[in-house]
Structure 1
C-alpha cells in the first residue's frame, strides 16, 4: 500500500454522459460481457489510491463488476502530503463539487447517476450498488435519485465541511429518497469512526432524522483504526476516518474488516438474484 498502483487489472474507459467525459476504471466479469451486477466505487481524497483500488478489488472478487470513476487526483498514486492538499483545495473550488453548506447536492452526482444507469444497462441484474467515501461519501445517497441504484453505502461522508450536522442534500432530495426507501423496502448502510473529526455524530443523526430506520449506521471505535497511513493522512487526517481504505486493518477479527465484509454482504443481498445463490 506504500507503492503506486498501476491499476493494470482494471480496464480504463473514457465515458461521456451529459456531455461530460471522465475516465472510469472497470474490473470484473461484467466489464467485458455485461454479465454481472455493477457497483460504482467512488474514491476518497486525494484520489484513487492503492487503498481505494484494493477495496475495489475486494468488491470485484466478491462477484461484482466495478466501475471506479476518476473524480480528482492522479490515479493509482500514493500522493505526498503537498500533492494531496493541492487536490483537496482544487476540489473545494471546483464547480462539480459543493464542499460547503447550503448549496445542495454536488453537480457531479448527476453524472454519477447517469453512470449508474449505464452500468445497469451494461451489466444487468436487479440494479446497481454505490459506495462513496469521505469527499464522495454522501454522493452514494444522492445517487438514490437514480432508480437503478438499490444498494447505497455511505462511508465517512465529509461534506459539507463547514456544518457537522449537514447532509449535503436539500430537503426535497431527502424526502424523495426516503419515500423511495419506504416504497421499495430499501436501506442505506453508513459507516464512521467514533472520533472522526470530518464526519461527526451530528451528521449521522441528521441522516437518521431524515431517513428514519432506513438509515443503518455503524460507528467503529477509534482503537480499530490502522495508524500506519500514507503521508497525506499523517499530516491532514489526524483522526480515524477511512473505514474500508486507509484506516482498515486487514486482519481477521478486526472491526474494519468486518465492516468491509458487511458491505459486500449488503451488495449480495440487494444485487444478486435469489435464484442465482
Structure 2
C-alpha cells in the first residue's frame, strides 16, 4: 500500500472487524459513502470519482483491499492484483450461491460509519470484481444507498455462474425482504459487457422494480472510471443525494 499524489489530501486510517484489518482513506463531510475499488486497486480514476462524491457533500471512505494505492492500472498491476485476490480467503472467485467473506468486514465498516455520522444510513458503491460487494452490504440496514457497477463475480464460466449474484441463499432472502420493504438498488453496466453475464436479469427477477437499471450501449466495462459515462456518474450522485441527503423524497427503507 503506497499512497501517491492523488491521495495526498486524504486522511489515512484503518478499520478492524472480526480479526480482519484493512487500511482506509477518508475525506469530506456529510453522510457516509463507502467506495470500493475495482481491480487493480485505488487508481487515479477511482480517486477522481471519489473526489466527485466528496464534492457532492459526502464523507467518503476508500478501503484498501488489494493493489498499490494511487498507482495507474497498468497490465502488470492488474496481473499482480489478480494474484493477490486469487490467494486471499476474503474473496470468492468461482463459488456459486456464496457471499464473499469480505462483505462481513464491509458491513461492519458501514455500521460504524453510520453510527458516527448519523442520518438515514450510508451509501456503498462496488465496481467490477467488487460490484457484488455493495449488494452483499445491502443485507445490513445501515446501507440505504447501494450501487453495483458492472458486477463481475463469480467469474462468468458457464451460464449458472454468469447469472449468480455472489450471495448466499440467506443473504439473497434478506436483500429481497429489504427490496420488498422499499429499499432500492442502483445498477450500471454496458449491455454487451461479457464480464457482467446475466446478473442484471437475475436482479430484475429477484428484486423487481426495486432494481434500478442504468445500461449503456456497447462493450465497455468500467462505467464510472476507465470507460466513464457521465450519465452514469450523474445517476449515482443523484441516487446518493436522494437516499442520504433527502430521505423524505426517496423514503427511509424498513430496517427489518
TM-score, normalization: structure 2?
Answer: 0.90
Q: In the alignment, which residue of structure 1 is the partner of 2:26?
A: 26
Q: Give the drift of 1:69.
A: 0.1
Which 4+ stretches in 1 moved above 4 angstroms? none
Q: In the alignment, which residue of structure 1 is the partner of 2:204?
A: 208
Q: 1: distance between equivalents of 2:100 and 2:233?
A: 26
Report the count of equivalent residues. 242
Q: In the alignment, which residue of structure 1 is the partner of 2:252?
A: none
Q: 1: distance between equivalents of 2:6 and 2:126?
A: 22
- Does residue 242 of structure 1 match 2:239? no
Q: Is the 8 A contact 1:175 1:210 kept in 2?
A: no
**What are the equivalent positions in structure 2 for 1:176-195 lying under 5 Å apart?**
176-183=174-181, 185-195=182-192
Q: 2: distance between equivalents of 1:77 and 1:62?
A: 25
Q: 2: distance between equivalents of 1:14 and 1:205?
A: 36
Deviation per CA, 1:178-235, whole angstroms, max 9, x where unpaired?
111222x1110000001212113x111111111122111111012xxxxxxxxxxxxx
Q: Is the 8 A contact 2:35 2:124 kept in 1?
A: yes
Q: Is the 8 A contact 1:5 1:49 kept in 2?
A: no
Q: 2: distance between equivalents of 1:258 and 1:153?
A: 14
Q: In the alignment, which residue of structure 1 is the partner of 2:172?
A: 174
2:61 to 67, 88, 93: 67
Q: Is the 8 A contact 2:180 2:207 kept in 1?
A: no
Q: Give the drift of 1:103.
A: 5.4
Q: In the alignment, which residue of structure 1 is the partner of 2:9?
A: 9
Give unpaired runs (5+ residues) of structure 2.
249-256
Q: In the alignment, which residue of structure 2 is the partner of 1:267?
A: 240
Q: In the alignment, which residue of structure 1 is the partner of 2:253?
A: none
Q: In the alignment, which residue of structure 2 is the partner of 1:82?
A: 76
Give unpaired runs (5+ residues) of structure 1.
30-35, 223-238, 249-255
Q: In the alignment, which residue of structure 2 is the partner of 1:226?
A: none
Deviation per CA, 1:230-276, whole angstroms, max 9, x where unpaired?
xxxxxxxxx5100001111xxxxxxx10111111111111111468x
Q: 2: distance between equivalents of 1:158 and 1:242?
A: 11
Q: Give the drift of 1:137.
A: 0.0
TM-score, normalization: structure 1?
Answer: 0.84
Q: Is the 8 A contact 1:191 1:218 kept in 2?
A: yes
1:160 to 144, 154, 170: 154
Q: In the alignment, which residue of structure 1 is the partner of 2:213?
A: 217
SS in 2 for 1:164: helix
SS in 2 for 1:92: helix
Q: In the alignment, which residue of structure 1 is the partner of 2:128?
A: 134
Q: Is the 8 A contact 1:45 1:135 kept in 2?
A: yes
Q: Give the drift of 1:92.
A: 2.4
Q: Give the drift of 1:84.
A: 1.3
SS in 2 for 1:145: coil
Deviation per CA, 1:134-192, whole angstroms, max 9, x where unpaired?
01001111001111100100000000103211111122211111111222x11100000
CA RMSD of aligned residues (A): 1.6
